Amino acid sequence: MAERNTDRIRYRYGICLNDNCEKCKSKEVQEIPARKDFVCQNPECGKPLRECPPPKKGSNKKTFGIIASVIAIIALAIGFTYLALSGEKEHPEEVEGGGTQPEPSVTIVLNKSNLLLKEGESESLTYTISPDGNTDEVEWQSGSPDVATVNNGIVTAMKEGVSTIIATVKGHEDAMAIANVIVTPQDQGESEKGEDSPKTEGPKSIDLGYATYTGGTANGKPDGNGIMEFKRDYTLKLGSNEYEIKAGERITGMFRNGQINLATWYQRNGNETIIKP
């Protein structure tokens, strides 16, 4: 306390009130010897000062210490963030909880999605499993064995109709691929046909614009067992009935002279609807 009183005797303290003075703008407390004029020490100012208490000793050091502490904390935070991100890049397989990311899902793709066969004919289906190098076995199943059978990928047509062949990767129930099988009857002799009977042309693919038809044909029209795969949304009118078919859906069944006789509509939501005129 004695030292503070001595300072008060030896010096006076004040702040400049001239708004145009840099020392005023910075709110600097000026220390003026007691025997000198109590005016601003800025050579460009020189205005009288307003007396104020002397600044507390060590305040600058304390402020500097606080600033240094804040800077140190920020630096540590940046360092920890960098290390965390580096660790993620070096170990991308690690996930929360100390585990690892699941193995890539297994998928299977068949070389054909549609088979057109006549009764008694056979054709082989081949497959590709991803990821490459997968050696799991494939299980085969026919949706209608009375129409078409399958043995290790070899499909045999039994009788006229429509069936599906399902290939599943053993141990991976979600890894599944499906091929549609359309079986048409063997060509009949001309003597067995009436003069007005349509000319059978066998299984073909026909672009209908709104859908692609694959199956039996006669006189260039769908005739027999076949599948319609819709390329765009379409309103199908059968007699007094109307069906709103969405792109990607399909109709499988019996066709006569270009018209649906009786078929199943397979919808994207998993529903199956029998449709007929």
Average pLDDT on 110-121 reads 88
Judged against a pLDDT cut of 80, whether residue 91 lies above it is answered with no
For 150-176, the pLDDT digits (tens) are: 999 999 999 988 888 999 988 887 888
pTM more than 0.85? no
For 170-217, the pLDDT digits (tens) are: 888 788 888 888 888 876 444 344 445 555 566 688 999 999 998 888
For 246-259, the pLDDT digits (tens) are: 999 989 888 888 88
For 257-276, the pLDDT digits (tens) are: 888 988 888 898 888 888 88
What's the 3-state SS for the chain? Answer: CHHHHHHHHHEEEEEECCCCCHHHHCCCCEEEECCCCCECCCCCCCCEEEECCCCCCCHHHHHHHHHHHHHHHHHHHHHHHHHHHHHHHHCCCECCCCCECCCCCCEEEECCCEEEEECCCEEECCEEEECCCCCCCEEEEECCCCCEEEECCEEEECCCEEEEEEEEECCEEEEEEEEEEEEECCCCCHHHCCCCCCCEEEEEEEECCCEEEEEEEECCEEEEEEEEEECCCEEEEECCEEEEECCCCEEEEEEECCEEEEEEEECCCCCEEEECC
